[in-house]
A and B are shown apart, each in its own frame.
Chain A
Amino acid sequence: MKGTWFAAVRGYVWIKLIGGNPETFLNAATAQRIGLWNIAFSKDGELTFGISVPDFFRLRPLVRQCGSKARILAKRGVPFQLARLSRRKTFAAGMLVFVSLLFLLSTFVWQVRIGGDTAIPEEQILRAAREEGLFPFQWSLRLQDSSVLARRLTARLPDASWVGVEKKGTMIVITVVDSTKPDAKSAKGPQDLVAKMDAVVTRIIAENGKPQVERHDRVRSGQVLVSGWLGDADRRKAVVSKGKVMGLVWHEMRIVSPLVREQKTLTGASKERTYWVIGSRALQIAGYGGEEYAESRTGAALYPWRLGRWMLPLGILKEREMEVLTTRDSLTAAQAKEAGLRQARTELLSRCGTDARITSENILHEQSESGKVRLTVLYEVEQSIAVERPIIQTPSE
């Protein structure tokens, strides 16, 4: 027996030998080099064995010589299956139709999917694909090569910098990469630049429009710095004035700085607790014991179980408690003052814009009382003071 599958392909039969002398039969069969396998005695004392179909026909004279009879118990293997199939024409035809139908249907495009992170509307891409002959239930043999399709789709989609077409079985994936565009500028109406607050002008650059003030001029809040009106009284035109006006502005800051500084640090020690969550209830299953922390911070994460795309009301909640250590530093008055000033400076700069610069700092008043240092500080900041104000034109009579 050269492997069961080989025998199954060629076909084999189980034989029962009735009567005669089994030993003579076996010796005769081996002498003729007839392959027998699984030779055993049945319960009735008759010899049973397996034999391949070609050998079975060579066996007949031997059986007759030994004076016994061979009875076929079972027929196995592909040739017999085929013979059985040929008797059932409709069944065979059904199998054939199924295979051919499967093959035929697999040559169609069943799905067109759009991948990539794109701002182009999906309908637009699908419409472009349809015009190139790429749509569901299209026969895929009629499709062009995917690189040609990709090139044509890129031509049809002006907002895309690259289009990839990938065929995955019966699914086509179109990947679109958007081209980056400069930000669209909103059209502006004519406008003036006016002062945001009282200041002394240090620098004025007018890109468009007519500057109304000069360096070292004192301006008040709302005063026009760069005018959008060009021309004389009767021949004039409103434009979009643009420019940069920097000025010195005074800010008075009141600072309260404590003399005792509290600092919380994580010690690194932590405990983890695990809960089973059912609905809105939680049952702790792990993380018992251990010393309690004097001070701690707790973070929790919920891992719900999912069934496909549904989230189940069951899950696991993991809670981590981290030990916190609070240290108190007492500061001298000078240190507290310095800390307060530092904080005031960052606060001021974040309030005054990115191009702001502190030019001077003047402590007006300083007082230390009930564990705090109170300061009143006058800052002089050079910052942008221009703000846009649209010109409302009344229609000429």
Chain B
Amino acid sequence: MPRLSRKLRKWTAAFLDLPQDVALDLPRVTMIGGLQVTVENHRGVLHFSPKTLRLAMDRGEMEVTGENLVIRNIGAEEVFVEGEILGVTLHPKGKPSG
């Protein structure tokens, strides 16, 4: 997304009091205790193992760590993960992941 367009969108969202995820196409993470995580607006699976799940975002990556992770359901837009979730980490673009 060009820089100008993104700035405009951000300004509009702030001015009209819109939720940022609607205006900016950001991922929306819903977490229920340490049991379930739903990530909407992801851009694909980068890595999946029983301990970690790395998802691509528009700008950067997101990492879900835990034990015995199971992808309950996966669609083009959302992922629903179950297991003993220990952490959700965001890695914006440019910074090293890990």
Contact of B28 with A by CB under 8 A: no
A173 contacts across to B, CB distance below 8 A: none
SS class, residues of chain B in contact with chain A: strand
Known pairs A27-B44, A30-B44; A41 contacts B49 (CB<8 A) = yes
* Per-position binary interface string of chain A over residues 1-36, scored 1 when its CB falls under 8 Å from any chain B CB and 0 otherwise: 100000000000000000000110011011101011
B71 contacts across to A, CB distance below 8 A: 26, 36-40, 49
User: Are A30 and B47 interface neighbours, CB within 8 A?
Assistant: no
Q: How far is the CA of A1 from the CA of B70 in the complex (A)?
A: 14
Q: How many residues on B have C-beta within 8 angstroms of the other chain's C-beta atoms? A: 16
User: Are A39 and B70 interface neighbours, CB within 8 A?
Assistant: yes
User: Are B70 and A38 interface neighbours, CB within 8 A?
Assistant: yes
A27 contacts across to B, CB distance below 8 A: 44-45
How many residue pairs between the two chains, A and B, have CB atoms under 8 Å in the bound complex? Answer: 49
Which of the candidate stretches B9-17, B73-81, B84-92 sits at the interface with the other chain?
B73-81
- Distance to closest chain A CB from B29 (angstroms): 18
Interface residues on A, range: 10 to 19
Contact of B59 with A by CB under 8 A: no
Q: Which residues of A contact B (CB under 8 A)?
A: 1, 22-23, 26-27, 29-31, 33, 35-41, 47, 49
Excluding A27-B44, A40-B70, A49-B71, 15 further A-B contacts by CB distance (< 8 Å) are A22-B48, A23-B48, A26-B45, A27-B45, A30-B45, A30-B75, A30-B76, A36-B71, A36-B74, A37-B74, A38-B70, A38-B71, A39-B48, A40-B50, A41-B49
Chosen A-B contacts, 15 in total, with CB atoms closer than 8 Å, are A22-B48, A23-B48, A27-B44, A30-B44, A35-B75, A36-B71, A37-B72, A37-B74, A38-B70, A38-B71, A39-B48, A39-B72, A41-B49, A41-B50, A47-B48
Q: Which residues of B contact A (CB under 8 A)?
A: 44-50, 68-76
